[in-house]
A and B are shown apart, each in its own frame.
Chain A
C-alpha cells in the first residue's frame, strides 16, 4: 500500500464520535431490557388469564402519574440542552435541577407503590404470593425485576445529571462544548422510553 504523508495531522475533538459511542452504549441498555421484555412476552402469552388478574392489583393512577412525571422530566432535559446551546447557562441549570426533582418524585411514588404491595404481602417469596397461581407469581416477579431495574436506571440517571449540573456550573459544559450533557440527555430519554413500554404492559392490561 503506498502512503503519502501529510504534515501536522492534529488530533481534534470529535463530538459525533462521542454521541455515536453513547448511542451504541444505549443499544446495550435497550437489549438488557429487551431480554426482560422477551420474558414478559412469553409469560404473558402462556398465562394470559393470570396476567390479567394480577394487573388489576396495580394502581393505574400512580402509574399514569409517574408516566407524566417521567415524560415531563424528559422535556426539561431536552430544554436544558436547548438552553445551553443558546448560552443560557442559568436556565440550563434550572432545567437540569427540575429534571432531578422530577426523578425524585418518580422514585418517591415508586417507593409508596412498592411499599403498598409489600404491605399486602405481595413480594417475591411471600406466602401470599406463593399461594397464587403461577402466572401471577410470574407477573409480580417480572413487575419487581423490571420496574426495579428501571428504578436503578433512574437513580443512576439522577447521579449523572447531578454531575452535569456541576460541570455546567464550572463551565466544563459550555455553549460550544456540551456533548457530555447531550450524552446524559440521551441516557435519560432512553430511561423514559423504557418506561413508555413498561407502563401499558404492566398497568393497562384489561
Chain B
C-alpha cells in the first residue's frame, strides 16, 4: 500500500517536486511510487515517442508530395507508416491521457493520496519503457523495421522477413502496461474516494477514466494473445491463422478488432473526460446534463465492444454479420452524440473565457464531430465498400485520434500545466499556436476525405497524378503543423525554466478538488483528506443570480 504514515505533516507539506523520499536525484524519480511523479515520467516518455511518430508522419507527407519517388523508396515508406501507426497507437494515444493525466489527477480528483497500488503503477511505467525500447529496437536490428501496417494482418505478417516479432512483443508488453493501469484505476475509484464522494459526485473525467479502465482490462488481453499467436505462427508454424495450413486469416482480423475497436474508445473516452472538465470551468457554470454525460461514458464502453467487425466489411463476412455489425455501429454513435450536444448546451448562458485550454476544447468538439460523423458514414455498408482502405479512413481516424484525442491531450496540458509545475506558459503565444494548429490540422487531413471517396487507397507509396493536388494541399498542412507543434513544446519548456511562478491555488476558477490544494500539489496531495458534500461544478454564485432574477 501507500507509503507508511511515519511522516509528520510538516514533511508532507512540501511540493511533490521537491519532496525528498528514500532516493534522491534521478532515482528519486525513477523509483518513486508517487502517482504524480509517475504521471510526469509518462509525460516525458510519451512526448519523446510523439515526436518520433510525428517525424515519421512528416516524412510520409514529404514522400507523398509528388507521384513517384520523392525522398524514399517503397520499402522505407512501408516501414515508416507501420512504425508511425504502431508508435502513435500503442505508445501515444492508448496510454496517453490515462497514463499522464489520469495518473496525476485521478487520485486528486477523488480526494485520495495515491492510487490503490502505487508500486504496480511504477511497474506499468517500466513495462511501457521496455515496450517502447523494444519498438525502437525493431527499427535497429538487422532485417529492418516491420512493414506490415499497425494491423499486422496475416498472412503478410507471417511471410515478410522484417522484424515483426520484436514489434509484436513490444505491442504485447505495452498491452500489459495498459492493463495494469486499468486494474489500478478501477480499484482506486472503488476503494479510495474521499468520504462523501458518492458516484454521482465524481468529476466527469473520473467517470470516463473509470469506463476506460474497464475497456483496458477486458479488451487488451485479447490483442495480447492474438499478437502472441502471430509470433507463434511465425516461429513454429502452428497454422492457427495461416491459410496455407488451413487457418482462417479472417479470424485473425476478428480477434484483432475485438480489441482494437474498443481501443479507439480507450483513446477517446479520457479526452472526452477532459472536455467535460474544462468546459464548465471556462464557461463558468455548471455542466449541462451531468448524469447523461456520465452514463454515456459507460454506454460507449459497453457498446464499443459490440461493433468490431465494421473494419471488415469487405473481408467477406456473412450477410448476417454485416447486418448486425453495421446496425450496432450506428447505435454506438448515439452516446457520443449525447455528449456533444450536452457540451454545446453547457456554453449556453455561460460566461465564456477563451483561454488556450478552452480553444483546444472547442476545436476538439468541431474536429471530433467531423471524425465521428465520417465514422458513421463508414458504418454504412455500401459507403464503406467504397471508402474502406482509402484515405477517407485515414482522414477519419486522424480527425478522431489527432483532432480529438490529440487536441484533448493538448487541452489537458494547457489546463493543468500551471497546477502541475507551478509555472505559467505564455498565454498569448499559446493562443496563436492554437490557431496555427487548427488551420494546419484541417488543411492536412480534410483533403484526404475527398481523395478517399474518389478512390485513393491508403498505404500507397505512389499514386495516380489526378490525386496530386490533394496530396500537395495535405503536405502543406503538415508544414503549418510543424512550426506550431514546435512552438507549443517550446512554450512549455520555456515556461518550465523561465515562466512566471504560480502559487495561486486556483488559476482558472475551477471547482474540482485539484484546485483546492496547493500549487504544485504537496507530496501526498492532501494534508487532510477532504469530506465532499456537493457535486462538482456547482458554481453556486450563478445560482443566486438566477434566483434573484426569478424573484424580480
A and B touch in the complex (CB under 8 A): yes
Q: Is A3 within 8 A of B531, CB to CB?
A: yes
Name the contact of B187 in the complex, choosing from A2, A8, A24 (C-beta under 8 A): A24
Q: A21-B187, A39-B255 are in contact. Are A5 and B240 (CB under 8 A)?
A: no
Q: A14-B1, A134-B246 are in contact. Are A20 and B191 (CB under 8 A)?
A: yes
Q: Is B240 within 8 A of A145, CB to CB?
A: yes
Contacting residues of chain A (1-43) with chain B, CB-CB under 8 angstroms:
1-11, 13-14, 16-17, 20-21, 24-25, 27-36, 38-39, 42-43
A141 to B242, CA, bound (A): 11
A145 to B231, CA, bound (A): 12
Name the contact of A3 in the complex, choosing from B116, B236, B513 (C-beta under 8 A): B513
Interface centre among B2, B183, B238 (most CB of A within 10 A): B238
Q: Is A20 within 8 A of B187, CB to CB?
A: yes
B534 at the interface (CB under 8 A from A): yes
Q: Is B528 within 8 A of A25, CB to CB?
A: no
Q: How far is the CB of B207 from chain A (nearest CB, A)?
A: 16
Q: How far is the CB of A100 from chain B (nearest CB, A)?
A: 25
Provide the residues of chain B in CB contact with A4, threshold 8 Å: 530-531, 533
Q: Is A32 within 8 A of B191, CB to CB?
A: no
Q: How far is the CB of A22 from chain B (nearest CB, A)?
A: 9
Provide the residues of chain B in CB contact with A39, threshold 8 Å: 229, 240, 251, 255
B551 at the interface (CB under 8 A from A): no
A125 to B530, CA, bound (A): 63
Q: Is B239 within 8 A of A21, CB to CB?
A: no
Q: How far is the CB of B88 from chain A (nearest CB, A)?
A: 24
Provide the residues of chain B in CB contact with A49, threshold 8 Å: none
Provide the residues of chain A in CB contact with B321, threshold 8 Å: none
Q: How far is the CB of A131 from chain B (nearest CB, A)?
A: 12
Q: A125-B236, A145-B229 are in contact. Are A21 and B538 (CB under 8 A)?
A: no
A29 to B220, CA, bound (A): 10
Q: A14-B191, A42-B251 are in contact. Are A3 and B516 (CB under 8 A)?
A: yes
B63 at the interface (CB under 8 A from A): no
Name the contact of B245 in the complex, choosing from A21, A25, A30, A134 (C-beta under 8 A): A134
Q: Is B232 within 8 A of A145, CB to CB?
A: yes
A151 at the interface (CB under 8 A from B): no
A30 to B224, CA, bound (A): 12
Q: How far is the CB of B134 from chain A (nearest CB, A)?
A: 20
Q: How far is the CB of A191 from chain B (nearest CB, A)?
A: 15
A137 at the interface (CB under 8 A from B): yes
Main secondary structure, interface of A, reads helix
Q: Is A46 within 8 A of B236, CB to CB?
A: no
B320 at the interface (CB under 8 A from A): no
Provide the residues of chain B in CB contact with A30, threshold 8 Å: 221
A27 to B534, CA, bound (A): 34
Q: Is B532 within 8 A of A3, CB to CB?
A: yes
A36 to B252, CA, bound (A): 11
B17 at the interface (CB under 8 A from A): no
A39 to B252, CA, bound (A): 9
Interface centre among B186, B192, B240 (most CB of A within 10 A): B240
A138 at the interface (CB under 8 A from B): yes
Q: Is A32 within 8 A of B221, CB to CB?
A: yes
Q: Is B240 within 8 A of A3, CB to CB?
A: no
Q: A1-B534, A24-B217 are in contact. Are A38 and B255 (CB under 8 A)?
A: yes
Name the contact of A137 in the complex, choosing from B246, B512, B513, B538 (C-beta under 8 A): B246
B536 at the interface (CB under 8 A from A): yes
Q: How far is the CB of B524 from chain A (nearest CB, A)?
A: 8
Q: Is A1 within 8 A of B512, CB to CB?
A: yes
In the complex, which range does the number of interface residues on chain B fall in? 35 or more
A142 to B232, CA, bound (A): 11
A11 to B528, CA, bound (A): 11
Q: How far is the CB of B287 from chain A (nearest CB, A)?
A: 13
Q: Is A1 within 8 A of B538, CB to CB?
A: yes
Q: Is B222 within 8 A of A34, CB to CB?
A: yes
A68 to B537, CA, bound (A): 58
Contacting residues of chain A (125-165) with chain B, CB-CB under 8 angstroms:
125, 130, 133-135, 137-138, 141-142, 144-145
Provide the residues of chain B in CB contact with A24, threshold 8 Å: 182-183, 186-187, 217
A89 to B192, CA, bound (A): 32
Q: A1-B513, A31-B221 are in contact. Are A141 and B238 (CB under 8 A)?
A: yes
A52 to B177, CA, bound (A): 40
B389 at the interface (CB under 8 A from A): no
A21 to B222, CA, bound (A): 19
B462 at the interface (CB under 8 A from A): no
A134 to B225, CA, bound (A): 22
Contacting residues of chain B (199-258) with chain A, CB-CB under 8 angstroms:
217-222, 224-226, 229, 232, 236-240, 245-248, 251, 254-255, 258
Q: Is B533 within 8 A of A125, CB to CB?
A: no
Q: How far is the CB of B155 from chain A (nearest CB, A)?
A: 14
Provide the residues of chain A in CB contact with B528, threshold 8 Å: 5-9
Contact with A along B515-552 (1 / 0, CB 8 A): 01000000000111111111110100000000000000
Provide the residues of chain B in CB contact with A21, threshold 8 Å: 116-117, 120, 183-184, 187
Contact with B along A108-126 (1 / 0, CB 8 A): 0000000000000000110
A31 to B176, CA, bound (A): 13
Q: How far is the CB of A128 from chain B (nearest CB, A)?
A: 14
B147 at the interface (CB under 8 A from A): no
A135 to B245, CA, bound (A): 9
Name the contact of B255 in the complex, choosing from A17, A27, A33, A35 (C-beta under 8 A): A35
Contacting residues of chain B (161-186) with chain A, CB-CB under 8 angstroms:
179, 182-184, 186
Name the contact of A1 in the complex, choosing from B187, B224, B532 (C-beta under 8 A): B532
Q: Is B530 within 8 A of A3, CB to CB?
A: yes
A11 to B114, CA, bound (A): 10
Provide the residues of chain A in CB contact with B232, threshold 8 Å: 145
Name the contact of A138 in the complex, choosing from B3, B224, B240 (C-beta under 8 A): B240
Q: Is A27 within 8 A of B217, CB to CB?
A: yes
Q: How far is the CB of B552 from chain A (nearest CB, A)?
A: 27
Q: How far is the CB of B110 from chain A (nearest CB, A)?
A: 12
Provide the residues of chain B in CB contact with A145, threshold 8 Å: 229, 232, 238, 240
Q: Is B534 within 8 A of A2, CB to CB?
A: yes
Contacting residues of chain A (58-73) with chain B, CB-CB under 8 angstroms:
none
A11 to B247, CA, bound (A): 53
17 contacts between A and B (CB under 8 A): A1-B516, A2-B534, A3-B533, A10-B5, A13-B1, A17-B116, A17-B117, A17-B191, A24-B182, A25-B183, A28-B221, A35-B222, A38-B255, A133-B246, A138-B246, A141-B239, A142-B240
Q: Which residues of A contact B (CB under 8 A)?
A: 1-11, 13-14, 16-17, 20-21, 24-25, 27-36, 38-39, 42-43, 46-47, 124-125, 130, 133-135, 137-138, 141-142, 144-145
5 further A-B pairs in the complex, CB-CB below 8 A; given A9-B526, A124-B237: A3-B531, A8-B528, A20-B190, A138-B247, A141-B247
